[in-house]
Structure 1
Amino acid sequence: MTTFASPSRPGWLSLAPFLAAVAVVAVLGGLAASSSGETYRALDLPPFAPPSWVFGPVWTVLYVMIAISGWLAWRAGADRAALGAWVVQLLLNLAWTPLFFAADRYGWALVDILVLLVAVGATIGLFRRVSPVAAWLLVPYAAWVAFATALNLAIVVLN
């Protein structure tokens, strides 16, 4: 099992690039979602849709967990495939917000989020081999993306 401290691996400072990568995704997503509150309120939403204010706090926690997960897997010696999967899911995550909010392409956003869900699952599976903790840190993210997929699908159907 992976530990947080290892004399043969870089320390906490090496977490910075992982936090930076996730922060870039969060900031770019935020810029693409500048009118997200208005867009969200204007949509026909299913009964299980949360209020728009929920998304910010949830994503903040998830993004921190995604960064720590990638860092722990890297520290544990994850191979290119595992780290590549982490990057791919991050890029798919980044693509969803402009598709949904900036372009109003709810169907394409649904395709993106379905692929994202698969990519997160693959990343969990690959990370589990080297760091169970890194894999478990992505489970709430996978659950949230599954919920968001259902919400996206309902929005496609209702709108």
Structure 2
Amino acid sequence: MSTLKNIQSTVKLAASIIICQLVGISAVLLSQKNSNYWYDTIVMPSWHLSTYFFGTIWVVLYFLLGISLWLVWDSKISEFNKQNTIILYGTQLFLNFLWSILFFRFHSESIAFLNITVLIVLVFISIIQIYKFSKVATWLLIPYFIWICFEGFLNFKILFLSGYCIE
């Protein structure tokens, strides 16, 4: 019986990581256009990072999200709490996916900013909820939370520099 549980747990771990990585890969593929002309013309703050750095960070963050999701999915908490928490993860992943589409494909910096603001709130709520039953899963979400706060601030700064915000 223990071997079956180990196999099930391993399958859940692999599925959690793959699902999170696929969300990231899909967002990249669906948000790209043939040309980066629009992105190259955006007024960026002096402290913005290279696009290559962003890609590397996201691979690591989706991996950490996958492990955190697995810890929740494989936990001994009630099915109700588990389902609610997994729904929160799914909603976060969707909003994260949507942000890339809104920002990069549709060039809608303002709607993308609203989207990432809601995402930040949901991740914060998730951290509070998950902390009650898995400290490790919570700590795995902290880099993600910090990163989306950074990206939210960058999104806001781009809006400001583009003249969308009142100076």
Common fold: TM-score over 0.5: yes
State the Cα distance separating 1:47 from its structure 2 match: 1.6
Query: Superposition RMSD on alpha carbons, in Å?
Result: 2.1
Report the counterpart of residue 20 of structure 1 in structure 2.
18
SS at structure 1 position matched to 2:107? coil
Q: Is the 8 A contact 1:32 1:101 kept in 2?
A: no
State the Cα distance separating 1:11 from its structure 2 match: 2.6
Give 1 or 2 for the bigger CA radius of gyration.
Answer: 2
TM-score by length of 2: 0.84
State the Cα distance separating 1:21 from its structure 2 match: 1.8
Of the structure 1 ranges 111-120 and 32-41, higher mean CA displacement relative to structure 2 is found in 32-41
TM-score by length of 1: 0.88
Report the counterpart of residue 68 of structure 2 in structure 1.
69
Per-residue CA deviation, residues 15-54 of structure 1 (Å, 9 max, x unaligned), is 1221232122112111123248544332100122112211
Alignment of 1:48-59 (within 5 A): 48-59=47-58
Give the Cα separation in 2 of the matches to 1:146 and 1:111: 12
State the Cα distance separating 1:76 from its structure 2 match: 1.5
The amino acid that maps onto 2:126 is T
State the Cα distance separating 1:60 from its structure 2 match: 0.4
- Unpaired runs of 5+ in structure 2? 163-167
The amino acid that maps onto 1:20 is I
Alignment of 1:3-152 (within 5 A): 10-35=8-33, 38-78=37-77, 79=81, 80-152=83-155
- Unpaired runs of 5+ in structure 1? 1-5
Give the Cα separation in 2 of the matches to 1:74 and 1:102: 33
Give the Cα separation in 2 of the matches to 1:134 and 1:38: 39
Give the Cα separation in 1 of the matches to 2:45 and 2:128: 32
State the Cα distance separating 1:8 from its structure 2 match: 5.8
Q: Is the 8 A contact 1:46 1:154 kept in 2?
A: yes
State the Cα distance separating 1:147 from its structure 2 match: 0.3
Give the Cα separation in 1 of the matches to 2:37 and 2:140: 32
Q: How many residues align?
A: 155
Give the Cα separation in 2 of the matches to 1:113 and 1:94: 10
Give the Cα separation in 1 of the matches to 2:130 and 2:73: 9
Instruction: List 4+ stretches of structure 1 deviating above 2 A.
Output: 6-11, 32-41
Aligned identity (percent) is 31
Report the counterpart of residue 165 of structure 2 in structure 1.
none
Q: Is the 8 A contact 1:22 1:63 kept in 2?
A: yes
